[in-house]
Structure formats: structure tokens, C-alpha cells
Chain A
Amino acid sequence: MKAKRSIKLTPQTGVMLMLFIVMAVITLTPFISIFLASLRPGKEIMRQGLGLNLDTSVMSFKNYIYLFSGETAYFTWYKNSIIITAVQTVLTLFVSAFVGYGFAMYDFKLKNLLFMCVLFIMMIPMEIIMLPLFQLIIKLKLIDTIWGVILPFVAGPLPIFFFRQYLSGIPKDFLDAGRVDGCTEYGIFFRIVFPLMKPAFAAMGIFVGMNSWNNFLWPMIVLNSKDKLTLPIGLNALITPYGNNYDVLIAGAVFSVVPVIILFLLFQKYFIAGMAAGGVKG
């Protein structure tokens, strides 16, 4: 197989290219329009809606300067979001890897039944149980704490599934070699297998982290003190029919998306691996 990589611009390629350019423009339009809006006074957005006009006379970085001035609660939300995302990602990865390892490496009674339960939760929308879950969180005194947000989802079905698939590829001889060397069952996991899982952690870390950063409904239900709100909840609270907060809202929205896009561009490979995880059947 010689490299047949000489790109000829055949008519077919041209048509396909056109199609994808149109798709790309449509996809990017909301990003561009919200960015342009962040450079204009909030009142004007309220009056005119989102547009693509480039009237430079009204454009400035004033909204961002105001945002960074620290007069708003924006950076408190930012800090809270970072904390929740970090804690949730680390805990979920750790717990799910632990569980996934159990499913991948051992045979035990009820294994299949329990694994069916993992698949079953994947098919149930969380919204169905949010009422009793909310009452439970109150009973457990976890309301208005980050633990109330994190703990119910700490053994994530998708990460467990993903780690199990990933670990199934590791030969079991590794475990026996570890046992011969005097490792305990847990020693094998922590010393031998854990280091082998780095790529899987990267993919799932990004997947879990992104969902956590953008999570809205459940945190909104659990958290209610003003100083505990996360970015999506805080931004949502700024949306009022009067539009008096649009300066902070739109600049803040843009600034909440930017770090995620930068991370995506840097670690695209892992993002895609994490995303595709769900689609790959075992």
C-alpha cells in the first residue's frame, strides 16, 4: 500500500467541502454572535436581540472590564464551579475505576446481575427520581453542600462501563505475577493496574469534568446559598425579563465557555475518546 495521499481537488471533493463549510458556518454562528454581543452594551442586546451587525462605534471590552472588576459575584461562582468540577472528577474517576476493575478482573456471584444494574441506570433519566432524591439529600443533611451534588452520581455508570471495557484488555497474567510477588489484591490495583490506566483516566476525566462543569439542574436543586452557586446556576439567575444584567450575563457566558474550548483544542484526542466511549459496544 503506497501512500495515496496526493489530494486531488476533484469535483466530488469540492461539493463535499462546500457542504461541510456551510455546516461549519451554521455551527459557529451562535458562537460568533454571542461573542459579538459580549462586546456591546447589554441594554442594546435587550432592545435588538442577538445579531451579527458589526457596528464598531458601540463595541468595547467594557463588559469584560466590569466582569473582572470583582464587583459581581461572578468569580465566586467561577471558583465554586472549579472546586465542584475538580472534586467530582477526581472522586468519580477513582470510584468508577475501582468498581470497573472489580467487574473486569474477577468472577463472582451476581456479577452479571450487578452489571445489568449498571447498564440499567444508564437508561434511566435522573430527572425521574429527582423528587425522592432531593428528600433523601435533605434527610442526609447534604442539602446545600457540594457532597449533595456529587455523592449520588459518584459511581457513574458510563465511567464504570468504560473502565471495565478498558481493563478487559489487560491480561490477567499481570494479576498473578503481582500475587506471586506478594502484592495484595488492592496492591495489584493501586501499584500495577492504576498506572496502566492513564489514557482511560484522561478520556473519562475530560468527559466527567465537562459534564460537571456544565451541570445545571441537580446543582440548582441542591445548592441554594448565594455564595455556593456554580456558574450555570449563577448565569441562569441573571436572566431576567428586564435584561438589566445582560452586560455581566453575556460576557460571563463567553468567559465560562472559553476555558473549555481551550482545553478541548489542547486535548482533542482524549475528548473524542471519552465521547466515543458510549458508542462503542462491548
Chain B
Amino acid sequence: MKLKNWIKSVPYSQKIAPYVFISPFIIVFLVFFVYPVISTVIMSFQKVVPGQTTFVGLDNFKNLLNSDFSKAVKNNLIYTVTTIAVLIPVPLILSVLLDSKKMIGKNSFRAILFLPALVSIVVAGFTFRLIFGELPTALLNSILSNFGVKPIKWLGGPAQWTTFFALLTLCSWRWMGVNIIYYLSGLQSIPTDLYEAAHIDGAGSMQKLRYITIPLLRPVTIYILTISIYGGMAMFLESFMLFNGNRSPGGAGLTIVGYLYRLGWEQANIGYGSAIGLTLLVITLGVNVIMLKYAGLFKKGE
């Protein structure tokens, strides 16, 4: 009888209700996030063999100092930097142009540029694999042959830039429209009287862009930077699909997560795999914290 009353009254009280509302998050967070992170930390100091798991101290991390892992880190860094270099300025300019009063067909172009974001990485990846095929008849090579360029082995060819070019193209194709949408929604929040005031003060359109638009779009830029770092350092499937698996000639498409996948799944070396995961966690968090601090996000509060 008492219990029944308790069930009837306590969860319904205004004090307890908020915890009931957020309880699904707390449960999922603890079970499917905190627990795996803790077990990553523990396993990264272990050699995990079913039945006899032993602590090996820092051995897993010492193993990370090999050429494959540094190659993977380097690949992810180049990828992250190049994608940011393209996918922030270009969408910014395109969205400003799309938003201008002189532009026509704004919605149609926005929709077309967004279409690639609807395609799964599997379909996008093998489509680009075929576009970047090494045969003379593959799309890109056949276009280039009109300009007298000899067929290029794009993926994993002798020159490294061709692989990065393919990855960058795939990434830009998929995310250009999304970033444009972020910037367009940011542009809506800039009050028009700012531009009018600037206009009265005799500012040209370049000055307006520099002194009003770009500074006021900063929150959007910071958001895109954050997700680009996240996505760039964790990039795996793009390379996995372009190279049709986790093996690429000379490690041209090897990534940190690809290396984790190779060791954790293909070689069942879970301790070592965890050390890679933990390292990636520290890199991602570190870069993001530095970036956010540098961008002054912490200062602004909220």
C-alpha cells in the first residue's frame, strides 16, 4: 500500500519529474558512452586475449610510434586541413552570392548543391571510385584527354596528391551544399539595418563583406570548423570506399580509424586498437579545445 502510494506520488512530483525526463539520456550516456570510454582507457594498457588478459603498461602506445600509424595521422591531418581550406571559404562566398538580391534561382541552386548530402557514402564512394578510375575511358581521365592529358592513376598512384585530390573532391561534393545551408541560415540572422547603416556610411560591398558579414558569421564558421576537425580526423569510410576496402597501395588511403579497424577487427588486437582510439580521442579533443579557446568561444559565455 505504501509502495503504491510512493509510485503514485514521487515520480509525479515537480522535483523528480525532470530527472525522469532526462533519465533516458543518463542511461544511454553511462552505458553506451562512459562505459566504453572507460573500457577503452583500461584496454589500451592491456594485451587482450580471451581468457588471459594481461597488463602491458605503455607497450601499446610505444607500438604506435611506427610508420603506419604516423602515416595515418599525417593522412588525416592533410585531409582535415585541405577540406577546411576549401569547405569554409567557398561555401561562405557562395552563400553570400546566393543570398544577394541580384541572384535569381536561389532555391533551385541551393537544392541542387544539397543533393549529394542525401547519398550514402557507399554509393557516393564507389561512384567516385569509378569516376577516378585509372582507365583512359573513366570519366575524369576521358575529360582530361580532351586537353591532351595522359590517363592518370588517381587512387594510390605514384604521386600522392592525386589520392588527396580524389578524397577532397568526394568530400567537397558531399558537404558543399550542407555548409552553404549553414551559412545561409546564419545570414538570415544578420539584421539588414546594419547593411543599410554601412551603405549610408559609404561602404562598398567588399567592405560590408569584410566588416559585417564575415565577423557576424563567426559562430557558424566555428561550428563548421568544429565538425570539420571531427570529421577530418575520424575520416575512414571515404577512403574505405574509394579504395574498395581497408588496403590501399603504399598506405595512400590509410587513416587513423582505418588503422583502428584493421587492428581491432581484422587482426583482433583489441588492446592496441584501444590505444589508437584513445589517441584519436585525445587528438580530437585537444584540437577542438585549442580551437574553441583560440576562437574565443569560452569568453563569450553561454
Interface residues of A, Cβ cutoff 8 Å to B: 4, 7, 10, 12-13, 16-17, 19-20, 23-24, 26-31, 33-34, 37, 45, 48-52, 95, 98-99, 101-103, 105-108, 111, 114, 117-118, 121, 123-125, 127-133, 135-136, 151-155, 160, 184-186, 189, 210, 213-214, 216-217, 221, 231-232, 235-236, 239, 241, 249, 253, 256-257, 260-261, 264-265, 268, 271-272, 275-276, 278-282
Q: Are B139 and A33 in contact (CB under 8 A)?
A: yes
Counting from the closest, the 4 A-B pairs by CB-CB distance are A102-B21, A49-B138, A125-B234, A279-B182
Complex CA distance for A130 and B29, rounded to whole angstroms: 14
Q: Is the CB of A103 within 8 A of B244?
A: no
The number of inter-chain residue pairs (CB within 8 angstroms) is 273
Given contacts A16-B97, A124-B284, contact A99 B24 (CB under 8 A): yes
Contact in complex: B237, A217 (CB < 8 Å) = yes
A178 to chain B, nearest CB (A): 12
Known contacts A99-B25, A155-B28, A235-B122; A33/B131 CB under 8 A? yes
Residue in contact with A279 in the complex, picked from B119, B120, B220, CB distance below 8 Å: B220
**B273 to A, closest residue via Cβ:** A131
Q: Is the CB of A106 within 8 A of B17?
A: yes
Chain B residues within 8 Å of A, Cβ to Cβ? 12, 14-15, 17-22, 24-29, 31-33, 35-37, 39-40, 43, 94, 97-98, 100-105, 107, 109-124, 126-128, 130-131, 133, 135, 137-139, 141-142, 173, 176-178, 181-186, 219-220, 223-224, 226-227, 230-231, 233-234, 236-237, 241, 244, 257, 260, 264-265, 270, 273-274, 277-278, 280-281, 284-285, 288, 302
Is B109 within 8 A of A20, CB to CB? yes
A interface, by DSSP: helix, strand, loop or mixed?
A: helix
In the complex, which residue of chain A has the Cβ closest to the Cβ of B277? A128
14 CB < 8 A contacts A-B: A30-B127, A49-B131, A49-B138, A49-B139, A50-B133, A50-B139, A102-B19, A125-B284, A127-B236, A127-B257, A128-B278, A128-B280, A133-B32, A135-B270
Contact A279 B118 (CB under 8 A): no
Given A50-B130, A136-B36, A235-B123, residue A19 in contact with residue B28 (CB < 8 A): no
